[in-house]
Structure 1
Amino acid sequence: MTEEITKKVRQDLREEIRAEVRAEFQMLYQQQFQSMRPVSSPIEEHVIPPPPTGSEVPIYLNSQDVRELASGTQELNISIIQLWTMYMSGVSNKLGRCDDYGFIDPQSIHESNDFDQINMNLIRSFGRGKKIYFLPYISGRHWQLLVMSMQDNYALWFCSLHRPPPTQLRQAIDWFVFVVVDITKTDLQF
């Protein structure tokens, strides 16, 4: 009889603790999203914000993007990856490394773009003369990262699924290195 009572008390206690933890987590979760919502004010509607300076660019994420980022269970969409590239660019600038690192907008090399459009975007991006470039790339619904050193003529490909670089991206990079950078250099080594 005592064992049954002990089991029942333990089970009730576990359920109470679970309920409390669940409620606390839900409250924290709601507070996080509440703090991300803009507060409307009649004064704010008539005030024109100053233009962005430097790397201070307004970022707009819809609530679905924020939920996906906060949950960690969804695949990251392009808005989140663009946010990462902008953040890393800002970090690089603050550390005084803006001449060293370049971050390519993933939309500019997206697989839905045609070959010529990707090449033009790469020419524009690589024309900034950085030492190392970070190119986040989406293939289907899977993100990969290409890190390129233009000075040392190498590229590192990071893919959690161990897939090779897509042919379209590889051809665009090889074309850029061959035609634009230096015809005498060999292709980038992946």
Structure 2
Amino acid sequence: MLNISCIQLWCMYMDTIVVESGWASIYGFLEPQTIQPSGNTLDFRKSYIQTWMTESNREIYIASYIDAGHWKSFQKK
């Protein structure tokens, strides 16, 4: 099964690419460990996502997570 640390590493790499390309104000990455179902309630995850999207004010949001043993990613414009 894919480990959450692999997704965290990928997000850190992509964030570095975004910052170095000068697109940090456009792209935002949600923390994969925070949006995972394990240990976090649905209400907590919803609150985190809503707060982060409101406060960060980015144009595109990318969230990667593990669901049923598979790595998934979604983007919201």
Q: Same fold (TM over 0.5)?
A: yes
Of 55, 67, 76, which residue of structure 2 is paired with 1:139?
67
Amino acid at match of 1:77: N
Amino acid at match of 2:59: K
The answer for the alignment partner of 1:170 in structure 2 is none
Alignment partners' CA distance in 1, 2:35 and 2:68: 13
Alignment partners' CA distance in 2, 1:90 and 1:78: 19
1:117 is aligned to 2:47: no
Residues 93-121 of structure 1: CA deviation (Å, up to 9, x unaligned): 11100010001111111022211110121
8 Å contact kept, 2:7–2:65: no
Structure 1 residue 76, shift from structure 2 partner: 2.8
Amino acid at match of 2:29: F
Runs of 4+ off more than 4 Å: none
Q: TM-score, normalised by structure 1?
A: 0.38
Larger radius of gyration: 1
Greater RCO structure (CA 8 Å; 6+ sep): 2
Amino acid at match of 2:7: I
Alignment partners' CA distance in 2, 1:105 and 1:81: 9
Residues 112-135 of structure 1: CA deviation (Å, up to 9, x unaligned): 221111012102321201100110
Q: Which runs of 5+ in 2 are unaligned?
A: none
Larger relative strand fraction? 2
Amino acid at match of 1:121: Y
Residues 27-46 of structure 1: CA deviation (Å, up to 9, x unaligned): xxxxxxxxxxxxxxxxxxxx
The change in CA–CA distance for 1:86 and 1:124 in structure 2 (over 3 A counts) is farther
The answer for the alignment partner of 2:4 in structure 1 is 78
Amino acid at match of 2:70: H
8 Å contact kept, 2:62–2:74: yes
Q: Which runs of 5+ in 1 are unaligned?
A: 1-74, 150-190
The answer for the alignment partner of 2:30 in structure 1 is 104
